Amino acid sequence: PSMYIPFQQQQTAGPWGSMILSVRVTSDAAALASAVRRSVADVDANVIVDPARTQASQMSFQFRERQLVVAILTLAGLVALLEVAFGIYGTLSFFVGTRTSEIGLRIALGAQRLDVIRMVFRQSLIPVAIGILAGLIGAPVLARVLDSSGFLVVPIRASDELAIIGAALLLLGVALAAA
């Protein structure tokens, strides 16, 4: 968040204070930079003028910390999604693997192949489906709680909802592969 505060009212005003001078130009900004430096030097020769930047580069400079935090959190989210996918796959593979003798016995006693597959899928995917459903219901609820408490800077967007649904579909696909 940004807000305008007059320079004389800033806490950092004084010999070590800093400010940003914005100049609107209709021509090349780099060509006008030396004229702006001369004008500032005419007012106060002790003022140090940093290299001129465009508005886009200044915004990028100001938000670089936030962009780094977002990139790190995105990476952490992807690692967590990968860990969950491996956990689901390992758990379901173990579950199905421990029941191979039971499955073999059912087939030996005349159970149809399709019935056995249906049984394995049903018993494997019901807990996964419950977890995915809880996540799909819980994510927007948690987002509202975080938004009302001031932890979210921006509201949940449609792309966020698509990412949540995509993660749920990915986990469902992993569960199907493991079963």
Give residue 75's pLDDT band: very low, low, confident or very high (50, 70, 90). very high
Q: For residues 52 and 36, is the Cβ–Cβ distance under 8 A? A: yes
The pLDDT assigned to 29 comes to 76
Report the pLDDT value the prediction gives residue 20, as an integer from 0 to 100.
73
**173 vs 19: which has the higher pLDDT:** 173
Angle between helices 113-149 and 158-178 (to 10 degrees): 150
Task: State the pLDDT at residue 69.
Answer: 83
Residue 83: its pLDDT value, please? 93
Query: Taking residues 88-111, what's their average pLDDT?
Result: 88
Is pLDDT above 80 for 87?
Answer: yes
pLDDT recorded at residue 65:
82
d(CA 45, CA 27) in angstroms, rounded, equals 26
With vertex at residue 34, the alpha carbon angle to CA 29 and CA 39, rounded to the nearest 5 degrees, is 110
Looking at residue 67, its pLDDT comes to 83
Could you tell me the two tokens for 6?
């007059």
> Which segment, 11-25, 135-149, 151-165, is predicted with the most confidence on average?
135-149
Query: Who wins on pLDDT, 108 or 12?
Result: 108
